Chains A and B, each alone.
Chain A
Amino acid sequence: EAGVTQFPSHSVIEKGQTVTLRCDPISGHDNLYWYRRVMGKEIKFLLHFVKESKQDESGMPNNRFLAERTGGTYSTLKVQPAELEDSGVYFCASSPTFDGPFEAFFGQGTRLTVV
């Protein structure tokens, strides 16, 4: 079974440009999360989808970030326009919906560098 897949693995863009990150969760996983790790610090939550609905977007930094999840399958995270402080590794994770806790499975991440 395929794991969580993220595209691209690396992206270098100039300040002011737009970048779109994509995440394909594990098939059948209703929960999809976006996280970000900046400069070797802690991994910070950005938002949580349950199917196609945004369950929690309390971690989104500002309105330059837009996340969508089409039909409850793959998700995209668009940064427009990108700023220098947006550089970091963006992780996507997914988990099934069960009663009770279940660990999230992470993708390999997209390393975004804004220059």
Chain B
Amino acid sequence: DQQVKQNSPSLSVQEGRISILNCDYTNSMFDYFLWYKKYPAEGPTFLISISSIKDKNEDGRFTVFLNKSAKHLSLHIVPSQPGDSAVYFCAASVGTFSNAGGTSYGKLTFGQGTILTVHP
């Protein structure tokens, strides 16, 4: 059973336009969500994250939206650039209370990835 799903295997966008990548999850215990970008022959690189207590987080051209009731998050890239062409992975994590009294996070559960191609 896949707890994090990216139902669009690929997305093609014109340079300068908006790219919207979607992600759905089923585990209501997830409380931290991340987007990673991956170029060929490289490891995933962290892009942006959002905690479940928020519904939006913005960092430059990248904005992540979280809809907890729908168990859905999306990544918006505006404006899209050819250098953004990569595989984008959505990931989620569950926080657990640590012995020290704080919250610790362990493994990430990833979606299948969406190949974004931005055309000049």
Contact = CB atoms under 8 A, between A and B. Distances in A.
A43 B110 contact: yes
B72 to A, nearest CB: 17
B103 to A, nearest CB: 6
B interface, size bucket = 20 to 34
Interface string B64-95: 00000000000000000000000001010101
B112 A42 contact: yes
Nearest to A92: B43
Nearest to A107: B43
A100 B4 CA distance: 21
A69 interface: no
Contact of A91 (B2, B32, B44): B44
A74 interface: no
Interface string A82-113: 00000000010100010111111111110000
B32 to A, nearest CB: 4
Given A101-B51, A101-B95, A108-B41, A45 B46 contact: no
A35 to B, nearest CB: 8
B39 to A, nearest CB: 10
The 3 closest A-B pairs by CB, nearest first: A99-B102, A106-B43, A103-B46
Interface of B: 2, 4, 32, 34, 36, 41-46, 49, 51, 89, 91, 93, 95, 98, 100, 102-113
